[in-house]
Every structure is written in structure tokens, then in C-alpha cells.
């Protein structure tokens, strides 16, 4: 005789799903807070204190070169943590990734500068950046799989967007903290010149040191959630892959390349809209850096809501149409983005950042967790999704601020300013659009197998 399910069971299951999604959100928010601090500091500070003997644009190029190095370590993190995440569990890996990321970030706040130890200052900075990239490389796969694999089949896009929101919350928190650390009140300065000097001397360190406290909170929260039910089923049936990475490459080669391709516009343009825009606003347009930081704040805040909305919409319409819209919209905004920045009007500058991030980038980023997860079988999902996601980050987000800064230099020399950058942005969109076109629609597929 069948046993009736407890009336409370659906409510308990819903609470568990929300708890896991919330824990993933908090964890990724902390991870991205750590990671975005570096991008903001590279745009505003590191060129002055770690590469002080170069002109502003060359110093910024060198600072963004160290920013890009973090992306080189991300595939390695994805491979290592993906391997063990597919063999011994998603949850265990998330403790390690958060600890590695947090400690590396806190150590950046303690580094001596070039004026103190010379060339060893940028060497240590690069080492910490590589550790950041290694930790983040393993974080994304575990966090999104915990959310997606706990979610009901018809809401994977929505709940999968929760850990994605961590990127915008992390950007919001890091920008807010940097904004506060840059204020005359916090720095106890009476003039703007004194505040700038204090910020360069010690104020920039405070946001990095706060990371240690956030990591303690994040680890405690992650200890309270259950392992992925999909992985538990594999474990009970003794179906874990012996070599997850090899199996992912041999059984899902096309999907690994598609996963890489769909990320080019999302990942590359995000860092153009955020990290590079600060350089363009403050160095080229000669507008107060606070104007750019305010634009980032508004973009991050609005995108928290639109990202979840796009994820939910992908449960109804499918991953491909929502993702394609986001990519094409960003391409359409390539030239208007710079036209709006060029007005030098603070509110228009803010809108120039908010519109493409909230209506374009978020439409790709919201469904991305479920889209990439659904491309791979459960046995190798951590390894496959992480590999495709993180390999793309080297060539897209890792290079885009560096490429954009270089193209700005060449554009200024040729009297064309941002034109080359806009064409580069459209190239990234074209790669993603083609990849989405060849991708299989996955929103109605099962994920247990």
C-alpha cells in the first residue's frame, strides 16, 4: 500500500531549496566581492602604488595585466575543484574555495608597495591574484550546481540565477566599500587633495582586509546546507566518474566549446562596462572617479532584480532566446555606451552603465547557471560546466579590460578614441550569438542522468 506524502513535505522541500539558494547567493557574493575589489583597485590605485614609474595609461595597462592573470588560474581551479566535486561532493569544495579566496584577498590589503620593496611588490600582488583566480575557478561550479540540482525542474532558471546574483551583490558591496574608503569623512581629510593622498597611502587597504570577516560568515552559512540530491543519488548508486574531466571532454566536447562561446559577450563586456569604464571616465574623460563608482552602484543594484527576472523568464521561454536577446542588446549598445559617457553628465554616465548591464548582460548571466549546467550529465557536470565557463574567462573577461585600454591608446593616437573598442565589443557579441545559435535548448531536459 502506498504511503501518503506528508502535507508538510512540499513546504519543507521549498524551505530547503530557498535555504540552499540563499547560501549559494551569500557565498558567491563574498567571493565576487573579493574578486571585484581587485578590478576596482586596478583601475584606480594599483597603477600608482605598484607600477608608479610609468605614465597613467601604461601603468593602467600593467595593472590590468595583473588583473588578467587571475583569469589564467581560474580554469586550473575549475579542473581541480571540478574533479573532486564530481567525485566526493559539491558542498565540500565550497568550503575550500571560499577560504582560499578570502585569505588571498585579505593578504592583498597587507602587501607593501613598490616604494617599500621594489619589484617584489608586484610579484606578491600577482601571486595573490593567482590564488584569487584559483579559488573563484572552483567556486562557480559548486555554487550553481547546489542551486540548480536542488531546484524543481520548472524553476531551475530562477533558482540557478541566485548564485549569479552574487556577482552583482559582490560588485555593489565592493563598490560601496571602496566608495566609503575613498570619502573625506572616512579618511579624516579636510581637503580633496589630502583625501586622495590618504586613500592612496592606506584607505584602499580597508576593503581588502574586511574580506576576512566575510569569509568567516560565509563558511558558517555553508555548513548548514545539505549536499546536492543529484550527487547523493550518484553516490548511492556508486556511479561517480573515475576521471570526470576526461569523461567530460570525451563525451561532451561540443558543449564545452559552446559553453565557452556563450560566455564571450557576457564575460568580456561585463568588465568593459565595469572595470574599464572607470579608466575611461577618470583617465580619458577627466571626470571625477566618484561619478563612475556611482554608476557601478546603480548598475549593480538594478541588475540584482533584473538578473533574477531574466532567469525566471528563461524557465518560460527557454534559455536560448533570453540569452540571445542579452547578447544582441549589448551589441546594439556598443556605440551608444561611449556616446553617453562622452556627455560627462553624471546621471547620463550612470545610465550608460546601468542600461547595458541590467537589460543586456543580466539577460545572459541570469539563465547562464542553468543553461551551462544542463549541457552536461550529472557524473561530470561540475567538471564540464566549470571547464567551459572558466576557459572562456581567460580570453573574454581576463583580456577585455587590457584589450580595451590598449585600443583606447591606439584610438586616441589615431583620433578615433572609442571606435576600436566598440568594434571589439561587437566581435565578442558575434561569437556569443553564433554559439547560442548552435546550442541545444535545455530548459525542459532532466538533470539526474
In a domain, 173, yes or no: yes
pLDDT confidence band for 190 (50 / 70 / 90): confident
Higher-pLDDT residue of 288 and 51 is: 288
CATH number at residue 79: 1.20.1250.20
In a domain, 405, yes or no: yes
Angle, CA 302 vertex, CA 65 and CA 204 arms, to 5°: 40
Does an H or E element contain 263, and which?
helix 253-271
Cα 173 to Cα 32, 147, 300: the distances in Å are 9, 22, 9
pLDDT confidence band for 1 (50 / 70 / 90): very low
In a domain, 445, yes or no: no
CA distance 415 to 45: 27
CA distance 268 to 42: 17
> Longest C-alpha distance within the chain, in Å?
81
Residues 433-442, mean pLDDT to the nearest whole number: 96
pLDDT confidence band for 253 (50 / 70 / 90): very high
Residue 308 confidence (pLDDT)? 95
In a domain, 259, yes or no: yes
In a domain, 448, yes or no: no
pLDDT at 101 over 90: no
All three cell numbers of 176, joined, read: 560601496
- What does the pLDDT look like over 68-92, one tens digit per residue? 677 788 888 888 888 888 888 888 8
In a domain, 187, yes or no: yes
In a domain, 449, yes or no: no
Beta strands in 20-163 (DSSP E): none
Residues in the chain: 449
Higher-pLDDT residue of 139 and 40 is: 139
Residues 238-249, mean pLDDT to the nearest whole number: 85
* Candidate ranges 40-49, 170-179, 191-200, 342-351; pick with highest mean pLDDT: 342-351
DSSP assignment of 169-197 equals: HHHHHHHHHHHHHTSHHHHT-SSHHHHHH
pLDDT at 275 over 90: no
Q: Residue 128: which of 216, 185, 50 has the closest Cα?
A: 50
* Dihedral of alpha carbons 278, 279, 285, 286, sign: positive
Which range is least confidently modeled, 157-161, 241-245, 445-449?
Answer: 445-449
Residue 60 confidence (pLDDT)? 67
Total of domains in the chain? 1
Predicted model pTM? 0.84
As a whole-number percent, the residues of the chain with pLDDT over 70 amount to: 93
- What does the pLDDT look like over 286-297, one tens digit per residue? 898 789 888 988
In a domain, 447, yes or no: no
Residue 2 confidence (pLDDT)? 39
Domain that holds residue 206: 15-438
Cα 364 to Cα 116, 147, 394, 410: the distances in Å are 44, 18, 18, 30
Amino acid at each position: 500500500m502506498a504511503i501518503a506524502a506528508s502535507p508538510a513535505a512540499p513546504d519543507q522541500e521549498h524551505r530547503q531549496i530557498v535555504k540552499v539558494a540563499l547560501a549559494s547567493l551569500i557565498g558567491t557574493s563574498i567571493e565576487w566581492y573579493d574578486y571585484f575589489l581587485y578590478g576596482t583597485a586596478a583601475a584606480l590605485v594599483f597603477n600608482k602604488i605598484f607600477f608608479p614609474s610609468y605614465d597613467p595609461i601604461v601603468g593602467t595597462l600593467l595593472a590590468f595585466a595583473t588583473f588578467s592573470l587571475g583569469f589564467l588560474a581560474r580554469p586550473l581551479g575549475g579542473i581541480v575543484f571540478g574533479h573532486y566535486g564530481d567525485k566526493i561532493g559539491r558542498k565540500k569544495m565550497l568550503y575550500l574555495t571560499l577560504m582560499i579566496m578570502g585569505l588571498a584577498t585579505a593578504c592583498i590589503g597587507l602587501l607593501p608597495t613598490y616604494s617599500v620593496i621594489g619589484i617584489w611588490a608586484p610579484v606578491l600582488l600577482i601571486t595573490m591574484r593567482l590564488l584569487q583566480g584559483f579559488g573563484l575557478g572552483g567556486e562557480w561550479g559548486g555554487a550553481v550546481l547546489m542551486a540548480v540540482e536542488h531546484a524543481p525542474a520548472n524553476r531551475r532558471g530562477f533558482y540557478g540565477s541566485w548564485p549569479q546574483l552574487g556577482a552583482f551583490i559582490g560588485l555593489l558591496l565592493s563598490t560601496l566599500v571602496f566608495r566609503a574608503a575613498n570619502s573625506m569623512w572616512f579618511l579624516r581629510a579636510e581637503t580633496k587633495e589630502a583625501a586622495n593622498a590618504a586613500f592612496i597611502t592606506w584607505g584602499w587597504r580597508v576593503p581588502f582586509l574586511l574580506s576576512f570577516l566575510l569569509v568567516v560568515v560565509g563558511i558558517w552559512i555553508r555548513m548548514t546546507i545539505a549536499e546536492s540530491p543529484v550527487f547523493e543519488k550518484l553516490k548511492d548508486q556508486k556511479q561517480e566518474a573515475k576521471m570526470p574531466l576526461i569523461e567530460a571532454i570525451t563525451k561532451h566536447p561540443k558543449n564545452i566549446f559552446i559553453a565557452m562561446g556563450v560566455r564571450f559577450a557576457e564575460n568580456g563586456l561585463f568588465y568593459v562596462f565595469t572595470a574599464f569604464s572607470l579608466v575611461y571616465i577618470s583617465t580619458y574623460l577627466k571626470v571625477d572617479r566618484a561619478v563612475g563608482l556611482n554608476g557601478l552602484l546603480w548598475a549593480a543594484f538594478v541588475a540584482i532584480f533584473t538578473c533574477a527576472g531574466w532567469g525566471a523568464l528563461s524557465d518560460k521561454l527557454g534559455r536560448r532566446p533570453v540569452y540571445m536577446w542579452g547578447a544582441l542588446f549589448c551589441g546594439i549598445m556598443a556605440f551608444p555606451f561611449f556616446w553617453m559617457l562622452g556627455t560627462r553628465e553624471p546621471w547620463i554616465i550612470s545610465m550608460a552603465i546601468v542600461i547595458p548591464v541590467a537589460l543586456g548582460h543580466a539577460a545572459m548571466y541570469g539563465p547562464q547557471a542553468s543553461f551551462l549546467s544542463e549541457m552536461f550529465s550529472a557524473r561530470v557536470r561540475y567538471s564540464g560546466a566549470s571547464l567551459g565557463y572558466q576557459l572562456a574567462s581567460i580570453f573574454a573577461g581576463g583580456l577585455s579590460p587590457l584589450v580595451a585600454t590598449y585600443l583606447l591608446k591606439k584610438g586616441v593616437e589615431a583620433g578615433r578614441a572609442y571606435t576600436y573598442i566598440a568594434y571589439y565589443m561587437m566581435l565578442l557579441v558575434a561569437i556569443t550569438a553564433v554559439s547560442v545559435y548552435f546550442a541545444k535548448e535545455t530548459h525542459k531536459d532532466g538533470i539526474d542522468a
